[in-house]
Amino acid sequence: MSSTDKDSLQYKFTNCVRLLSAEAIEKAKSGHPGLPMGAADIIYTLWQKYLKFNPRDTNWINRDRFILSAGHGSMLLYSMLHIYGYDLSLEDIKKFRQFKSRTPGHPEYGVTPGVETSTGPLGQGIANAVGMAIGYEMLRSRLSKNGISPLNHKIYVFCGDGDMMEGISYEAASLAGHLNLNNIVAIYDDNKITIEGSTELAFSEDVEGRFRSFGWDVVKIDGHDYAQIDGALKKASGNNDKPLLVMARTTIAKGSVNFEGSHKSHGAPLGGDEIGKIKDKMGVTGSESFCVSDEVREHAALRVAQLKKEYDSWTLDFAKFLKDNPDIDAFYRDFSKKREIDIKDLLNTDFGTGKIATRSASGLVMQKIAKLNPSLVGGSADLGPSNNTYLKDFKSFSRAERTGRNLHFGVREHAMGAVANGLALYSEFTPYGATFLIFSDYMKPAIRLAALMKLHVIYILTHDSFYVGEDGPTHQPIEQIWGLRSVPGLDVIRPADAAETAAAWAQAMNNGANPAALILTRQNVSQIDRSKYASADGLLKGAYIISPESGKALELIIIATGSEVSAALEVQSRLKGEGVSARVVSAPSLEIFERQDEKYKESVIPKNCIKRVSIEAGSSGGWHKYVGCDGLVIGIDHFGASAPAEELCDVYGFTPEKLYQSVNNWLKK
């Protein structure tokens, strides 16, 4: 059946979606009508015949996931959610793109019921879907008896030409093919239109060949022919041997009178006159806007009622499965509740007695956490031995081994960040992704989205300063720490030693409201004598007095992070010998510190002590907020150099002796 049989429910339903989308965008005076109108046929067929969901239980573990990676087409998703009975009213639709509405310009996780992830930055949704597909395989393998599991759903991701151009889509699709994630279905809205015009301007590759080379199956269809759409989605919903790409050739702004097929429909309202012409073309009578007919609502309601029966049946079967398999039930309960980590368990880790890099200490702590908490999964972007992230008591996840908890992302930092987001979104996983701090720039968009969505993702970022040494300025972070600190909602934690690293992991695991970035050293650092100095659990408050001033009145505060804390303690000792009463504050996480009450913050960095110094082997960034306009900021605001770390430490003034000289000379001014 074609999409032009005017008496069919398909025609009425899809035109309702087209018109509802166009009207909401027109009312908002901004938006992207082209995609919702062009993709309505294929999305209608998916939702009405194949997608498994329950509008009353949006967290149902066995629901199919639908991800709109092409997030600019958000009105398509909002229209479907409204018509199929999610908690999204017609009034919400009318408030599209308005302040604090439930229908923001791009889909936002946690704002709109039924939205699985925040999308808009193109390509992110594809990688999120890969993360969800990995999560599905991991959880299914653990909820399985004799090879049979009650978990049996699909991950659908809808993407456009822009998604396909983004580098992250290559990384993610390559990984999905390598791992043979055969429960993922990507639907490609191949309308060959971008904002600037036809895709011929900048995009001419063989997408089918590309995906086949990744190890995907590919089906090409006319995205407006219901028979072809149905055939492709029937295949997609079945048991596939490989991940599947459905290439749907569509016409942007399908149904528009003057803008069908035009790039002008991509990112701007069509205009009131055009809306009227569209209504005439569709045979819609009356002047009222935002109309969803009873016939369309009843059609959707019948599908929802059918799905509710399937949901009820599955729920009973799942409860019986858990009852019959108490070992699996125990795992699932433990996994679902995300057991809190006792900081004492981690502080008792055997780090030896000598110096140890915080990346190495982190690796030891992770082994403990993995045994205590089954939700911890993750890996590195091909730097596992350097990042110390491999969980030794657990297998690697692969196409042949789905129970593994170690992921090998390959050199794909950007995809790694977004895949980790997908894992966190899928279920109760606590995913981690590791690389060198300098390469966190490659995954920044995914980190930002994790913070926006408040996902429980942990980034392990090692080789944190010029102490990388001989690898030189391309690998020596300077501006990265403050760049990460500028991301709202991201906890950046730079521990001073092994004990603070243990505390950092406890904080990161137990605070599910924020993603966390652990900033760790390449070089060995001293283990601070906690019998002489304050306990590392002070890290849980972000900053703490690790060594108080001597008996007389406070004269100077030295604030340091990471590897510079030990040096700050030596500077304090030298100053004490000269009669200067200095306090050392270890400030591993300024974000956590800022969440403390004013009384605590004042007790650590009192306003009446105006002589303050900060020491951090990175950009001076925002340190004047803490030391004041007249305070001394010791940092590095230039690129590093290729040389042994010890030499750079001396040249850049970070030896205890040179730090002492800098502070002492400043005090004498």
Side chain identity at residue 439, one-letter code: F
The rounded distance, in Å, linking the Cα atoms of 639 and 582 is 31
Distances (CA, A) of 244 to 130, 176, 179, 203, 230: 12, 10, 13, 22, 15
Percent of the chain residues topping a pLDDT of 70: 99
pTM as predicted: 0.97
Written in H, E and C, the secondary structure of 565-618 is HHHHHHHHHHHHHCCCCEEEEECCCHHHHHCCCHHHHHHHCCCCCCCEEEECCC
Q: Which domains does the chain have, with CATH numbers?
A: 9-287+296-307 (3.40.50.970), 343-519 (3.40.50.970), 539-667 (3.40.50.920)
Q: What is the pLDDT of residues 282-330, one digit of tens each?
A: 999 877 899 999 999 999 999 999 999 999 999 999 999 999 999 999 9
The rounded distance, in Å, linking the Cα atoms of 51 and 427 is 19
Per-residue pLDDT band at 641 (split at 50, 70, 90): very high
Q: Are strands 582-586 and 544-547 parallel, antiparallel or unpaired?
A: antiparallel
> How many CB atoms within 10 Å of residue 624?
15
Mean pLDDT across the stretch 505-513? 96
Query: Order of strands, edge to edge, in the sheet holding 632-634?
Result: 544-547, 582-586, 556-560, 612-615, 632-634
Report long-range pairs for 528-535 (Cβ below 8 Å, ≥24 apart): 528/496, 528/497, 528/499, 528/500, 528/565, 528/566, 528/569, 530/499, 533/569, 534/586, 535/499
Q: Which residue has the tokens 């900053």?
A: 543
Nearest to 185 by CA among 138, 245, 122: 245
- Greatest Cα pair distance in the chain: 93
Would you please indicate which residues are annotated as catalytic (active-site) residues?
Answer: 413
Per-residue pLDDT at 6 exceeds 90:
no
Mean of the per-residue pLDDT values for the chain? 97
Q: What is the pLDDT of residues 175-209, one digit of tens each?
A: 999 999 999 999 999 999 999 999 999 999 999 99
The rounded distance, in Å, linking the Cα atoms of 449 and 202 is 27
> How many CB atoms within 10 Å of residue 476?
27
Per-residue pLDDT at 1 exceeds 50:
no
Mean pLDDT across the stretch 54-74? 99
Per-residue pLDDT at 4 exceeds 60:
no
What local confidence, expressed as pLDDT, does residue 248 receive? 99
Mean pLDDT across the stretch 505-522? 97
First vs last Cα of the chain: how many Å apart? Answer: 85
Using DSSP, state whether 220 is helix, strand or coil.
Answer: strand
The rounded distance, in Å, linking the Cα atoms of 83 and 159 is 22
The rounded distance, in Å, linking the Cα atoms of 586 and 594 is 14
Q: Which residues, at least 6 apart from 505, have a Cβ–Cβ distance to it below 8 Å?
A: 341, 346, 362, 365, 366, 369, 518
Mean pLDDT across the stretch 441-450? 98
Q: Quick one: DSSP state of residue 634?
A: E
Q: Are strands 155-160 and 556-560 parallel, antiparallel or unpaired?
A: unpaired
The rounded distance, in Å, linking the Cα atoms of 137 and 125 is 18
Q: Which residue has the tokens 């090998």?
A: 408
Mean pLDDT across the stretch 472-491? 99
Side chain identity at residue 273, one-letter code: D
For 23-45, b/e burial (b = at least 16 CB within 10 A) is bbbbbbeebbbbbbbbbbbbbbb
> How many CB atoms within 10 Å of residue 324?
10
> Please, what is the angle between helix 9-28 and helix 272-282, to 10°?
170
The rounded distance, in Å, linking the Cα atoms of 623 and 629 is 10
User: DSSP characters for 161-196?
Assistant: HHHHHSHHHHHHHHHHHHTT-TTEEEEEEE--EETT
Q: Are strands 376-380 and 184-190 parallel, antiparallel or unpaired?
A: unpaired
